[in-house]
Chain A
Amino acid sequence: MTPFPENIESGALGYGAATRGLPEAESTFHFYMGKILSLRWALLALIVVGWFVYFPIIDNFRVSTTNQDIFTGELTNVGFANYTRLFHDPVVWQALWNNCLYAILSIVFQVFGAFMVAALIEGLGSVRWRNFWRAIYFVPSAISTTVTGLLFYFIYQPDLGLLDGALKFLGLEQLSIPWLGNEHTAIYAIIAMSQWQGFGYSTLLFTIAIQKIPKELYDAAIMDGAGPLRRLFKITLPMTREMTGLMTIVTITGAFQVFNEVMVMTAGGPNNSSQVLGTWLYQQGFIQNDFGYGAAIAVVIFVVTMICGAAQLWYTKSRRVQS
């Protein structure tokens, strides 16, 4: 689709050069050379991105239809066998469910929770205070998930952890359980850490979206006698809807790429209960050395993230058309 406008342009120019004689033709040559030479600006990006981003991802589809013998290294084409296996693998469904859980809880806390906190910060303090709050809340987002994951691994430890200490202090000793060692709580404990780490990031983005709302809207609403809650739901929420939509999509994409915190805190255990697609891919591909099956799991992640990416593209496009 793209080359056509260029072709039309160049065709017209070529015609002009031909009718006007040789010197012009030479400058046309220069013109083309200049055009082609200016591709050099993008050359490195095209090579690096094509070679190390696009090629492996396309190659992944091929790998997913093969099985490799660990001992001989021999590749055999197995067609869709890996996908059939995927479909019948209970851990894949568990992992998919955990990713969904991750997405749902992250939307609750990192989109709606963060929105509320941002509205609070913007409503309460002076400029200095709101900068202070959003900076404080953001700090964990700047730190590596390995560090925060390990930190919460310690916090959840039954004998030395902060959490049990705090529960004891509150007189809730019956609640003190090995959070990461229990099949029913492990994934929730990990997700909780992730909310702790990530909500400040979305809060920061929401505060900026809220700051862009014209103040006159609030003044008019106050004149009409609208209370704070009414203003929150009638002005702040609708006016930041774009950011909310975008954050939702970004959050879902992120939830299906989760790897680091699960790897560090439980590595998918106990008994695969906290496995997510990323860690199951790692487990199958790199621990069991089953590259073909790992690649098939990667395709699932690819499909979900592509859908989210398309949604995001469509969302920003339609938004731009409206405005």
Chain B
Amino acid sequence: MSSTTFSPPQTEHANAWAVIAKTFLLAFLVCLGIIVLYPLFWMALSGFKSNSQIFNQPFSFPDNWSLDNYVAAWNQGVSTFLTSSLLVTIASTICTIFISAWTAFGLTRTKMPGKPLVIMFVLGGMMLSPTVAVIPLVRMLQSLGLYNTHWALIILYTAFRVPFTTFLIRAYMLELPRDLDEAAMMDGATEGQIFRKIMLPLCQPIIVSCVILHILFSWNEYLFAMIFTSDVSVQTLPVGLTSLMAKHGTNYAQVFAAMTISALPIVIIFFVMQRYFIRGLTEGIGK
């Protein structure tokens, strides 16, 4: 598989130029790659260094590869933040996926009345930005007694992601052939059975994509997490990092270690599940 945009020209003379151009462009890609990755490596490496080494030799490798800073950061609260993040992410993922899959199923496979209205209402939620809702939400969550709890984040992450997730799953269900569920209907299967036994398994690829996109969102979300949680015990990683920074801001090495710990899970998920990740992203914007 050679190139599309820069395929080999015919003449010798042009060939030389093509090689030069290609080398130059490849060098550009490499430089860009270094610019993208080096700060991240620097972050992870600085987590191994001592404070004085961070100041005096910012570019060098750590003197000794001790995990002390990582352990210290972990004990300084990162473990609590991580637990909160895990809890909120897992719970909101499950809620979002189920609610969205039900809605998408109802919209594509049942005789639900007023479908266009439901579509407009639910998918229209995609256009509304969380920032705009923040102030009324404060009082609302306070009166519900949800302020400063994990529930606040679980509910909000679900509510604000159901529209997008429904959009993705619905689009996928629309493309699925109807033979199977029609056959099942003939055999007397109920809607619930068709959903569980036929549609869910068929939708597995898009559901995996949705799960990953939702994890990416809720793991990294900052605005809601910052405004609706105030205790260290309920703060998720992004907010926890800033409070760690405020408290131990001068202990750079530990902050770097904490940052690395919070970035690592999502980077690993990205590399392992790249295929699903990319599907979700492209379906999301391209349809």
Residues of A within 8 A of B (CB): 1-3, 6, 34-36, 38-42, 44-46, 48-57, 59-60, 63, 117, 119-124, 126-127, 133, 135-140, 142-147, 150-152, 154-155, 159-162, 165, 196, 200-201, 204-205, 208-210, 213, 215, 218, 222, 227-228, 231-232, 236, 243, 246-247, 250, 253, 257, 259-260, 263-264, 277-278, 281-282, 285-286, 291, 294-295, 298-299, 301-302, 305-306, 309-310, 313, 316
- Chain A residue at minimal CB-CB distance from B157: A52
Q: Are B36 and A137 in contact (CB under 8 A)?
A: yes
Assuming A228-B5, A298-B131, what are 19 further A-B pairs, CB within 8 angstroms? A40-B106, A41-B102, A41-B191, A44-B99, A48-B162, A49-B122, A49-B125, A49-B159, A122-B3, A124-B26, A139-B36, A139-B40, A147-B262, A162-B42, A204-B281, A205-B282, A215-B4, A299-B132, A302-B132
Measured between alpha carbons, how far is A58 from B269 in the docked complex, in Å?
37
Q: A39: shortest Cβ distance to chain B, in Å? A: 6
Binding site for A on B (CB under 8 A): 1-7, 9, 21-22, 25-26, 28-29, 32-33, 35-40, 42-43, 54-55, 58-59, 99-100, 102-103, 105-107, 110-118, 121-122, 125-138, 140, 155-156, 158-160, 162-163, 166, 191, 216, 219-220, 222-223, 226-227, 237-239, 241-242, 245, 252, 255-256, 259, 262-263, 266-267, 269-271, 274, 278, 281-282, 285-287
B41 to chain A, nearest CB (A): 11
Q: 3 nearest interchain CB pairs?
A: A41-B106, A123-B5, A309-B127
Contact A218 to B4, CB < 8 A, known contacts A52-B156, A52-B160: yes
- Bound complex: CA of A260 vs CA of B42, how far in Å? 22
Asked, given contacts A135-B271, A145-B222, A160-B58, whether A257 binds B135 with beta carbons under 8 Å apart, the answer is no
Assembled-state Cα–Cα distance A138/B100 (Å): 27
| CB–CB B29/A120 < 8 A | yes
In angstroms, Cα B139 to Cα A60, docked, is: 11
- Tally the A-B contacts, defined by beta carbons under 8 Å: 294
Measured CB to CB, the nearest residue on chain A to B239 is A146
| Pairwise interchain contact A291-B259, C-beta atoms closer than 8 A | no
Among candidates A35, A54, A154, A159, residue contacting B113 with C-beta atoms closer than 8 Å: A35
Complex CA distance for A282 and B132, rounded to whole angstroms: 11
A45-B124 Cα distance, complex, nearest whole Å: 12
A204 to B282, CA, bound (A): 9
Instruction: Please determine whether A306 and B127 come into contact, CB atoms closer than 8 angstroms.
Output: yes
* Least Cβ–Cβ distance between B18 and chain A, in angstroms: 8
Decide: A48 and B158 in contact? CB cutoff 8 A: yes
If A42-B103, A208-B278 touch, whether A140 touches B40 (CB-CB below 8 Å) is: yes
Across-interface contacts of A227 in B (CB, < 8 A): 9
Residues of A within 8 A of B252 (CB): 154, 160
With contacts A52-B159, A126-B1, A143-B266 known, is A301 near B29, CB below 8 A? no
* A5→B130 CA distance, assembly (Å): 34
A298 touching B3, Cβ below 8 Å:
no
Q: How far is the CB of A242 from chain B (nearest CB, A)?
A: 8
Residues of chain B lying within 8 A (CB to CB) of residue A295: 135-136
Known: A150-B241, A231-B5. A49 touches B134 (CB 8 A): no
Residue of B nearest to A309 (CB): B127
Majority DSSP secondary structure for residues of B touching A: helix
CB contacts (< 8 Å) of B226 on chain A: these are 263
Instruction: Closest B residue to A142 by CB, please name it.
Output: B270
Given the interface contacts A63-B136, A208-B278, A259-B131, does A2 sit within 8 Å of B162 by beta carbon?
Answer: no
Tell me the interface secondary structure of chain A in the complex. Answer: helix
- Is B135 within 8 A of A122, CB to CB? no
Q: Quick check: A53 and B128 within 8 Å, CB to CB?
A: yes
CA A228 to CA B5, docked complex, whole Å: 6
User: Would you give the shortest CB distance from A111 to chain B, in whole angstroms?
Assistant: 12
Whether A138 and B270, one on each chain, are in contact in the complex, defined by CB atoms closer than 8 angstroms, is yes
A298 CB → nearest B CB, Å: 5
> Once the chains bind, are B106 and A57 in contact (CB under 8 Å)?
no
Distance from A197 Cβ to chain B, minimum over Cβ atoms (Å): 9
Task: Enumerate 10 A-B pairs (CB-CB under 8 Å) in ascending A order.
Answer: A39-B113, A45-B122, A57-B128, A133-B33, A137-B36, A139-B267, A142-B267, A143-B220, A160-B252, A305-B132
* Contact call A42/B122, Cβ cutoff below 8 A: yes
Chain A contacts of B137 at CB under 8 A?
52, 56
List, in ascending order, chain A residues with CB within 8 A of B159's CB: 48-49, 51-53
Interchain CB contact (< 8 A) of A133 among B29, B35, B245 = B29
User: Which of B37, B118, B156 is within 8 Å of A46, CB to CB?
Assistant: B118
Smallest CB-CB separation from B227: which chain A residue? A286
Asked whether, in the complex, the Cβ of A42 is within 8 Å of the Cβ of B274, the reply is no
CB within 8 Å for A136 and B39 given contacts A59-B136, A147-B259: no
A138 cross-chain contacts in B, Cβ below 8 A: 270
In angstroms, Cα B55 to Cα A142, docked, is 28
Within 8 Å by CB of B6, from A51, A57, A124, lies A124
Q: A45-B122, A60-B135, A264-B242 are in contact. Are A52 and B155 (CB under 8 A)?
A: yes
